[in-house]
Amino acid sequence: MWSASTVCSLCIKEEDSPVYEGGGLGKMAGSKVKQDMPPPGGYSAFDYKRNLPKRGLSGYSMFGIGIGIMAIGYWRIFSWNRERRRLLIEELEARIALMPLIQAEHDRRTLRMLRENLEEESIIMKDVPGWKVGESVFHTDRWVPPLSDELFSLRPREQYLHKRFGFLWYV
Amino acid sequence: IMPLVDIQSWLGINIDRWMLLQSGEQPYKQAARCHAFEKEWVECSHGIGQIRAKKECQLEFEDFFECMYRKKTRQRMHAIREQRDKLIKEGKYTPPAHHTGQPDQNP
């Protein structure tokens, strides 16, 4: 039976309630209720404030580094371009030095091909009426450098193409 | 007013006079292929009017035109080639060896 001597664990004892004693809030529950409370003494301190540390280079110095790298790049490019110009001039001078020889060879070849073409033409067009062999299409009698068209016209086409396009690297 | 007021020489600038003639001043002094013909034609027809120039400089103009377009040259080439093919078909003509690809690169 319910006797007065039993301790009611859920009851609020009068002597412990804050209303009667004015005790602290920590004693609010007063009774032995198992709650999840912070450890005695509270937690240790931690920083909750904003942490935006000033780090790295400043903006000015980053600009400076960028501009410095660009300047070094410019200087290298300019000096190499000057060097390339010197090399180009050397190559042009070499071409000038060799020009008589190469021009002479080229001229001999041209003349030989013209002569051969003339003979061929005279053989081929023997029976065609009214054809003047070796007639020039111009009214003047200046030397007109012949086109590679004319020189190679009686030869297989690939020789002509080689002459015209053989040294091209681009399309 | 353009031909009467020469703005470019009044201002001393050269916007497009450099590209009007093939015989003008070229970069790297590279002459045009028909430089001589054009020069002849221009010198022939300078100073006289257009009507007289068309009559008197006919030969020079024809040469210049021929140099640029090579119509007559091509006609001749075509005629010769046709005749040659005809003769080959009839069997009367064989092209000499150096015309058929054997390398005979003379100087």
Q: Return the domain boundaries, chain B.
A: 7-93
Classify the complex by whether its ipTM is higher than 0.85, answering yes or no.
Answer: no
> According to the model, what pLDDT value does residue A22 have?
43
B101–A108 C-beta distance less than 8 A: no
> According to the model, what pLDDT value does residue B18 have?
83
Round to whole Å and give the CA distance between B76 and B99: 18
Among the listed ranges A12-16, A70-74, A163-167, B76-80, which one has the minimum average pLDDT value? A12-16
Residue of A nearest to B81 (CA): A154
Interface contact B93, partner A, CB < 8 A: yes
The set of residues, in sequence order, having a beta carbon less than 8 Å from that of A113 and lying 6+ positions away, is A151, A152
Instruction: Write down the mean pLDDT value for chain A.
Output: 81
Q: What is the mean predicted confidence (pLDDT) over A102-118?
A: 87
A158–B101 C-beta distance less than 8 A: yes
Q: Return the domain boundaries, chain A.
A: 64-135
- pLDDT-derived band at A75, boundaries 50, 70, 90: very high
Which of A52, A67, A57, A114 has the alpha carbon at shortest distance from B106? A114
Per-residue pLDDT 10s for chain B (107 aa) are 567 788 888 888 888 888 888 888 888 888 888 899 999 999 988 888 888 888 888 988 999 999 899 898 888 888 888 888 888 888 777 666 555 555 556 65
- Collapsing DSSP to helix, strand or coil, A117 comes out as helix
Residue of A nearest to B79 (CA): A125
A140–B83 C-beta distance less than 8 A: no
Model pTM above 0.80: no
> According to the model, what pLDDT value does residue A21 have?
45
Q: What is the DSSP letter of A43?
A: P
